Amino acid sequence: MQGKVYFIGAGPGDPELITVKGKRLIEQADLILYTDSLVSEEVVANTKPGAVVEKSAGLALEEIVERMVQAAQKGGLVARVHTGDPAVYGAILEQIVQLNEAGIEWEIVPGVSSVFAAAAVLGAELTVPELTQTMILTRAEGRTPVPEGEQLRDLAKHGATLALFLSASLIDKVVSELREAGWSDDTPVAVVQKATWPDQMVLRSTVGKVASEMKRLGIRSHAMVLAGRALDPKLQWSREHQSKLYDKTFAHRYRRAVADTDGKGEGG
Ligand SMILES: C[S@@+](CC[C@H](N)C(=O)[O-])C[C@H]1O[C@@H](n2cnc3c(N)ncnc32)[C@H](O)[C@@H]1O
């Protein structure tokens, strides 16, 4: 019987942030191929006797797929472990295409993306009521081009929370595009390098200061840049932006509203 390939999200670093399912599959796998320096060795430490564990950073796409196909054709279970969530900048599509061509079954097991790990480290809600209800996950354009209409200066015009992957070394460009989009220099920006790793670094800054502060701290890679008004640390001490979800005058499926004494509620 033919085996199967699982694309598994390892989470951002902390080995406890992998899903129960991802952990179980790694423990059962015959071949474990894991990506780059952002997957902790601890995540792939518990494997069954005889399992092959290999880093994929030095391998070409064809070599990776060849290993997976061979193992699956022998009936093996393959754990292809990616950092964060495999669906975000995981380069899984090109692997999926070749697995389909080879007739190998596959499945994706999601993981905690670094965007959410960074938000957790910062204690931030990224969708703050009445401030922004939208998040944009993107990257600055560097050697890898972004499609027409997805330039940062266009996306930033929405005023939504921005999560910038793969952009730490392009911070000067990020700042100039945010300014072009009309963002003021005091707009909050937070940077988390190696979120949830023992050597994690957190920088709370602004559009005006973030580039020089990142350079001073030597943050050039492995960093999540979160920008926008939702990143204002003062929000954690303000009652201004409260959701309707727990508003006692706001009825919804699971709760009846109490009498609205000042007439502003939405019924009950
Ligand atoms: C190739 S992408 C992979 C993203 C991954 N699939 C995810 O969901 O987080 C690598 C980029 O993700 C971000 N990243 C991944 N892990 C991170 C972490 N632990 N802390 C901060 N940023 C991280 C950085 O922007 C890094 O340049």
Using most ligand atoms within 8 A of CB, pick from 37, 115, 165 the residue to mutate for ligand 1.
Answer: 165
The pLDDT tens digits for 124-147 are 999 999 999 999 999 999 998 999
Contact 90 CB / ligand 1 (< 6 Å)? yes
Average pLDDT over residues 45-64: 95
Q: pTM for the whole thing?
A: 0.92
Residue 10 CB burial class (10 angstroms; 0-12, 13-18, ≥19): buried
Cα 85 to averaged position of ligand 1 atoms, centre (Å): 9
- 135 touches 142 (CB < 8 A): no
Contact 13 CB / ligand 1 (< 6 Å)? yes
CA distances from 244 to 131, 159, 219 (A): 14, 22, 38
Contact 88 CB / ligand 1 (< 6 Å)? yes
Contact 3 CB / ligand 1 (< 6 Å)? no
Q: What pLDDT is recorded for position 191?
A: 98
Cα 128 to averaged position of ligand 1 atoms, centre (Å): 23
Q: What pLDDT is recorded for position 79?
A: 98
Cα 166 to averaged position of ligand 1 atoms, centre (Å): 7
Atom of ligand 1 at shortest range from CA of 12: 19
Q: Collect contacts of 68-73 with beta carbons under 8 A, ≥24 apart.
A: 68/5, 68/31, 68/33, 68/95, 68/99, 68/104, 69/98, 69/99, 69/102, 69/104, 71/3, 71/30, 71/31, 72/2, 72/3, 72/4, 72/5, 72/104, 72/105, 73/2, 73/3, 73/104
Average pLDDT over residues 95-119: 98
Average pLDDT over residues 201-207: 98
Q: Whose CA is nearest to atom 7 of ligand 1?
A: 84
Cα 72 to averaged position of ligand 1 atoms, centre (Å): 28
Higher pLDDT, 248 or 12: 12
The pLDDT tens digits for 134-187 are 999 999 999 989 999 999 999 999 999 999 999 999 999 999 999 999 999 999
Atom of ligand 1 at shortest range from CA of 91: 1
Contact 223 CB / ligand 1 (< 6 Å)? yes
Q: What pLDDT is recorded for position 252?
A: 75
Backbone angles phi, psi at 146, to 5 degrees: -110, 150
Contact 191 CB / ligand 1 (< 6 Å)? no
Average pLDDT over residues 189-212: 98
Backbone angles phi, psi at 6, to 5 degrees: -110, 120
Cα 11 to averaged position of ligand 1 atoms, centre (Å): 9
- The domains of the chain, with CATH numbers, are 4-109 (3.40.1010.10), 114-237 (3.30.950.10)
- 35 touches 53 (CB < 8 A): no
Q: Percentage of the chain with pLDDT > 90?
A: 85
Q: What pLDDT is recorded for position 265?
A: 43
Q: What pLDDT is recorded for position 259?
A: 62
Pairing of strands 4-9, 105-109: parallel
Pairwise CA distance, residues 252 & 245, whole Å: 8
Contact 14 CB / ligand 1 (< 6 Å)? no
pLDDT level of residue 196 (50, 70, 90 thresholds): very high
Average pLDDT over residues 54-59: 93
- In this model, does residue 105 exceed pLDDT 50? yes
Pairwise CA distance, residues 60 & 37, whole Å: 16
Q: What pLDDT is recorded for position 215?
A: 98
Q: Percentage of the chain with pLDDT > 70?
A: 96
Q: Which two structure tokens, joined as six digits, stand for 182?
A: 């009309």
Average pLDDT over residues 181-195: 98
The pLDDT tens digits for 37-48 are 789 999 999 999
Q: What pLDDT is recorded for position 222?
A: 97
Contact 109 CB / ligand 1 (< 6 Å)? no
